A and B are shown apart, each in its own frame.
Chain A
Amino acid sequence: MNKFFKLRVQATKAHVDIGVGIVFSLFSIWMLTMGIRSQCSISFGSVGVVTDRLFPYIIMTVSLILSVIILILGIFDNQRDKKAKAEGKEVPMTECSIYVVMLLVLGIFFNMTMKTIGYPLCNAIAMYGVYYMLGGRKIWQGLAVSIGFTLLSYLFFAKYLGVSLALGFGL
């Protein structure tokens, strides 16, 4: 299990830049051609081009220009990296941990279960999950941290500040 949490995706920075350039270019083009038109209506009182769509159009045009520049610079960097690799030099890398997926799972769990099983149980489980993923294997320590914090935060937010934190199970 520990090996699984250490999984990570690696790529050169140039490849990442090319990816960023492509994704944002495509998104900008879609927004400029279809997205804004379908998602922004023109309200009463608009004069000429000064409509609800004006600002999103400006943003997406700038975004398209920037993503194309990032893409072009990424292509140049990639060529430079190829030369560097051929000369036996190291190229700048970036990596993304599998942990991001695990946090996403915990987030979905928190959102889906909080109303039904209540904040105390849901939060304690999610916190124990984080503790476990970080390599914590002492059960009592994990329970003390997750239950202790949950109890304190419940007392502070629900009892002192009056935030409505569900207890769950119809309570």
Chain B
Amino acid sequence: METVLSNLYIGVTLASILLLVGLGLTFTFGQMGVINMAHGEFIMAGAYVPYVLQTTLFEHARGTAVLVAFPVAFVVAGLMGALLERVVLRRMHGRPLDTLLVTFGVSLMLQQLAKDLFSAENKEVVTPTWLRGQWHLGGVTLTHTRLFVLLVVVATVAAVWVFLSRLAAGRRMRAVMQNRQLAAVSGLPTGRVDTLTFFLGSGLAGIAGVAVSLIGSIGTTTGTAYVLSAFLVVIVGGLGKLRGVVLAALFLGVINAYVEHATSSTIGKAAVFAFVILFLQLRPNGIVTFQTRGLAA
């Protein structure tokens, strides 16, 4: 029982990371159809933010630095994304698969830039004192860092949901996604909506970056480690479907945790990929199917 619970916990916390890194893609990939390989480098940029804050402005308040890092990383990564959209991706409407390759080129350049700015070795983000600790619950050790990440995820998902379903800007975004021409003739500034979409999607990657800096490494290749999982989650969830992405992250996280516990880490990972392939056989368009004539058609 104890191992069942502890693996459930591991699965859920892993899912929270998967969800967080994949969430931004529901905007850029799900809404706009851009396969943004530089998403990983936006995560990387977000991960460097708490490092920069802790070593400069917040040298003596490193705990606060982590909190401040979330909005800062959101804006930094968001601006990078908006710039990418304005300068390059704007030219590539209707060529979704080409965006994959262009943004792959961008990701190579960003990694090199990070190496030149921060040097090649990994950096350290000091865990705030208020995140050091753990609760014991029925034989399962819940660490404060993971719970904090879980909290961040829940808050972010809630914010995204409110934005998409309750705010005018979010509705405009969905309108453009579902039928660009119609939205344009209805007077929506589709260009500006695209930039905003990309800003938000990339900004979420920045937030994910701050979160992963608490549990993983901060370096030039930080993003590469997450980008593929992020796409898997979005694909399994169904493009642009928040509910689907949440479910997909949970599925993949929990499967990984249990298989890994029973076998080994490598097999656990392979099982996740195999599951994705099999799952797409059953539901080629993801958990939550897409009802419009958008990109998935």
Are A and B genuine complex partners?
no
Interface residues of A (CB under 8 A from B): none
